[in-house]
């Protein structure tokens, strides 16, 4: 991409999209197209068609999606499947119709089978059953990968896909009803701290293993892939390191400064027992993350919550 290339970041107000915008602006890209969901409803075929016809983007980072944690994924199953299918179908097809030079589609590590071998290699896709609680979202993301793959095969479109591991960072969702594990833990421990509570309850047994990536590292990887990768196969993006939910809870507890106890509610679902992604492919291409988990959680807490304690 040239610095003056017309670049559309779909989902620029979300955690991932806003990180991509920050990265692009930091690197001197000065012709960004940014539209909120109120301005362009990406689920609506005619809205998307009109948008492409008037704006004519050259490059697209497709970060727009309906996202949530275990509770939201399991509760709003039809919404997660329908809305994500519509967003990616409309965006990828219109990118073909309007001859977009390159598109990067962002998926999720939940595309892999629940009991797949670890670490998760790209070739393990569709090799087994998905985790039940987020199956609709995973199916939608798999469909996005296959859309990019087959528009490339049939029409020669330069559409690529990247599968991030579990993400956290600025502009995350801290609603306990539909947030992911790190923002949920940060909020729980923060509120317990300021309310002088003695106990924080954490969902599940604490035994599942997870990998996490600071969202600005993902944005760096996205720009790297957009400028240097072109292939039919998708690429995992992660840190290559994992820890248990129990260890994560104690890490967040220490960062926040909560002095009470942690109780694990084993009646709540654990989700996939382990989910470590193989980053061998991306590392061989020359990219690696730079922000450690502890450093990232400290930055998020200081930027988002710590000021409340100080004030």
Active site residues: 137
- Inter-residue contact 126 to 188 (CB < 8 Å): no
Contacts of 138 (CB under 8 A, 6+ apart): 108, 110, 111, 130, 131
Residue by residue, DSSP assigns 99-166 as: T-SEEEEE--GGGS-TT--SSB-GGGTTSSPPPGGGHHHHHHHHHHHHHHHHHHHHH---EEEEEE-E
Q: Which residues pair with 22 in a beta bridge?
A: none
Reported as type and span, the H/E element at residue 266 is none
What residue has token string 């001197």? Answer: 28
Angle at which helices 215-228 and 15-26 pack, to 10 degrees?
A: 60
Give the closest residue to 163 by CA, choosing from 135, 121, 134, 128.
121
Q: How far apart are CA 228 and CA 225, in angstroms?
A: 5
Q: How far apart are CA 82 and CA 272, in angstroms?
A: 23
Contacts of 47 (CB under 8 A, 6+ apart): 40, 41
């Amino acid at each position: 991409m040239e610095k003056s290339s017309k670049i559309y970041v779909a989902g620029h107000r979300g955690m991932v999209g806003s990180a991509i915008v920050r990265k692009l602006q930091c690197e001197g890209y000065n012709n960004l197209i940014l539209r909120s969901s109120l301005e362009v409803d990406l689920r609506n075929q005619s809205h998307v068609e009109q948008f492409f016809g008037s704006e004519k983007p050259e490059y697209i980072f497709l970060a727009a999606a309906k996202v949530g944690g275990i509770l939201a994924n399991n509760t709003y199953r039809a919404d997660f499947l329908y809305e994500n299918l519509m967003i990616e179908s409309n965006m990828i097809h219109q990118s073909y119709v309007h001859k977009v030079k390159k598109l990067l589609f962002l998926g999720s590590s939940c595309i892999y089978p629940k009991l797949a071998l670890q670490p998760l290699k790209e070739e393990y896709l569709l090799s087994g059953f998905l985790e039940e609680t987020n199956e609709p979202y995973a199916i939608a993301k798999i469909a996005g990968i296959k859309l990019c793959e087959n528009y490339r095969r049939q029409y020669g479109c330069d559409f690529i896909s990247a599968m991030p591991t579990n993400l956290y960072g600025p502009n995350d969702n801290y609603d306990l009803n539909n947030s992911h594990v790190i923002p949920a833990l940060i909020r729980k421990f923060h509120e317990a701290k300021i309310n002088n509570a003695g106990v924080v309850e954490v969902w599940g047994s604490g035994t599942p293993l997870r990998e996490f990536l600071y969202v600005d590292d993902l944005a760096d990887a996205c720009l790297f892939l957009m400028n240097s990768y072109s292939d039919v196969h998708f690429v995992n993006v992660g840190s290559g390191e994992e820890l248990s939910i129990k260890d994560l809870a104690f890490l967040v507890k220490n960062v926040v400064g909560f002095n009470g106890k942690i109780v694990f509610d084993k009646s709540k679902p654990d989700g996939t027992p382990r989910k470590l992604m193989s980053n061998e492919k991306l590392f061989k291409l020359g990219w690696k993350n730079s922000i450690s988990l502890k450093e990232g959680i400290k930055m998020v807490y200081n930027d988002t919550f710590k000021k409340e304690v100080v004030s």
